[in-house]
Structure formats: structure tokens, C-alpha cells
Amino acid sequence: MTGTIDWIAADWGTTNLRLWAMSGRAPVEARTDPRGMGGLAPDDFAAVLAEATQGWPAVPVIACGMVGSRQGWSEAPYAAVPCPAQPRIVAVPGDPGGRPVRIVCGVKQTDPADVMRGEETQIAGLLAADPQFDGVICLPGTHTKWVRISAGEICNFKSVMTGEIFGLIAGHSVLRHSVGTDGCDLPTFLSAVSDAIARPERGYGGLFQIRAEGLLGELPAPVARARLSGTLIGWELAATKPWWLGSDITIIGASGLARLYAEALTAQGLAPRSVSVEDATLAGLNAAHDRFRSEG
């Protein structure tokens, strides 16, 4: 390691924990741990954090993600939209491990009902780099978020369960025998997106065809996977058209999934730009750390 560690950034999600030892605004070491929020009881978090940061000094920890959920370490309240995109933080009581631990608050929407935890930190990171951004941020993932930003505020947002539905179908339905575990034929994907937007009902009736074509003929797994992914993302784009049509779109997500969304939106005549999810998360946690220091 190079640089003095003066705080720790943490992205503590449902399935894993990502940590960065920070010197000022720069990471000097990164670690991952498979002990996500979903497998822990509230009394487990302090010990897991101590083990995962072993060898690092007992400096302040700024955490985002599901660690702040009702089932997490300490529930961080939601801010109601419209709200500033700058992060809000709350303390974990008792300074566990002899150091302050702060959790970034989520964002809620009452009509229609919706919530986010973790994505608000990535949004804050994007706005820290581009304070004048005015448009829509797409955050692909298990529950993809479409977030409208104006004048530095989160105005409203919509969550779509595309990633979770894909995982259930690809991993637990009869289609698991057809779609494989990786690869995606891009022309097939784009064709499926277009068909799903234009005629959503036909896509629903065509899901089992993926399995049938594999049984009766030659349907390579990357083609089958592209058909399923394109159909589901196409349905999502049909459902969220008022969000992206004619908008300035920025995508924050893992590179492979973000590329698929970028290709799908480009095919609809948009020019989306993409931002690394790690870069956005770290920038947002830096903004949260600035808030921590200003609160003294």
C-alpha cells in the first residue's frame, strides 16, 4: 500500500461487501468479502467489518447499500423525493470497533411507491463529477432504476425487476437448459429488444419457443440467452418509454450489463453515455465522507 489510510469506504450489499482503504479521495487498497447483508444478523456486522478490515487502522467507515436496510445493521431512514442528490448519513450507535461508522440513507417515493438503497450513492457520485447534469440516469441491476434528475435533485424514479426476473428464468425455469451461463449474440439481442418494444404480447408467447427450438433444432446458448435478455430488456424499455424517450441518458452499471442497455437505447435513436459503477460509487462515498467531516 502507498498513502496513509484515513477512512474506509464500504459498499455493503445483499450478497457481498466491497471495501476500499482511502487516502483522502484516492483508494490505496481494495478488498471484497462474500458476507453480504442477506446472510447476517444485526449483531454480526461489527465482527464481520472488523475481520474484513484487519490490518487497516480504526478510521471512520462510510458505508452505503443494503447494510442500512430494515434487515441490515442499522436502519438508515429514507429521504423523500424530490430531494437533493447529495448523500445524507446516519451513525451506527456505539462507534463499533472504536471508530465512527456512518451509513448513507436511501431514497423513497410514495406515489407510486418505490425505494432505493445504494443507487443514491452512485447518483451522488455522478452529480459530484457533473453538477449540471439534467436528464435520466439508468442504473441496470437486479432491480434496474430509472431516475429523473433536475437542478441537482432526484425528482422521481422507477424500479423494474428485469435482472431478478432474468435470473429466475435463466437459473430456475425450464429455459435454464437452453440459455447457458454466458455469451450474448448482439444481433439476436437487438432484434428481440425491437420485437418486445413493438409487440410485447408476442414476446411473452415466444419464451417457451426458446426451449422448443433448442430441442427440435440447433439454437446455440448465446443466441438463446440473447433472445431471453433482449425480450426482458425490451419489455422494460416499453414500460419506461416516458423516462428515456428524448432524454439525456447516463448509464451507471457493471460493464457487461451496461453495454447491453447502451446498445438497446442506441438502437432506439438515443446516445447514452456510460459511467463505471465503481467510479460512481467511490465518488458518492467521497461526497458522503465530505458530509461526515463537515458535520464534525
Using one digit for the tens of pLDDT, what is the confidence trace for 156-215?
Answer: 999 999 999 999 999 999 999 999 888 899 999 999 999 999 998 888 888 999 999 989
pTM: 0.94
Say which CATH number the domain at 269 has: 3.30.420.310
Distance CA 260, CA 10 (A): 27
- Does a structural domain hold residue 207? yes
What's the confidence (pLDDT) of residue 2? 62
pLDDT at 49 over 90: yes
- Shared domain for 65 and 168, answered yes or no, is no
Structural domain contains residue 153 = no
Share of the chain above pLDDT 70, in %: 99
Q: List all residues 6 or more positions away from 19 whose beta carbon is below 8 Å from its beta carbon.
A: 8, 9, 10, 11, 30, 31, 32, 33, 52, 53
226, 285: one domain: no
Residues 281 and 257 in one domain: no
Q: Which of 219, 214, 208, 228 is nearest to 166 (CA)?
A: 228
Is there a single domain that holds both residue 43 and residue 83? yes
- Say whether pLDDT at 3 is over 90: no
Number of domains in the chain: 2
- What pLDDT is stored for residue 227 in this prediction? 96
Flag whether 146 is in a domain.
no
For 163-172, the pLDDT digits (tens) are: 999 999 999 9
Residues 192 and 126 in one domain: no
Residue 143 is assigned to a structural domain of this protein: no
DSSP, residue by residue, 100-156: -EEEE--EEEETTEEEESSHHHHHHHHHHH-TT--EEEEE-STTEEEEEEETTEEEE
Domain co-membership, 266 together with 288: no
**Contact of 179 with 170, CB cutoff 8 Å:** yes
pLDDT at 222 over 70: yes
Angle between helix 277-295 and 119-129 (nearest 10)? 90
Q: What is the CA radius of gyration of the chain?
A: 20
For residue 51, give the C-alpha cell.
Answer: 475481520
198 within domain boundaries? yes
140 found inside a domain: no
Tell me if 162 sits within 8 A of 239, measured CB to CB: no
Residues 6+ apart with CB under 8 A from 87: 64, 104, 105, 120, 121, 124, 284, 287, 288, 291
Three-class DSSP category at 265: helix
For residues 127 and 224, membership in a common domain is answered with no
Residue range 28-38: mean pLDDT, rounded: 96
Q: Are residues 229 and 164 part of one domain?
A: yes
In a domain? residue 148: no
Same domain (yes/no): 81, 191: no
Structural domain for 203, as ranges: 160-276
| Same domain? 52 vs 79 | yes
Verify that 164 and 237 share a domain, yes or no.
yes
- Do 205 and 255 lie in a common domain? yes
Residue 21 near residue 69 (C-beta atoms within 8 A): no
- Give the span between the Cα atoms of 60 and 98, in whole angstroms: 9
Determine the pLDDT at residue 183. 87
Cβ atoms within 10 Å, residue 240: 17
Q: What CATH number does residue 28 fall under?
A: 3.30.420.300
Beta bridge partners of 287: none
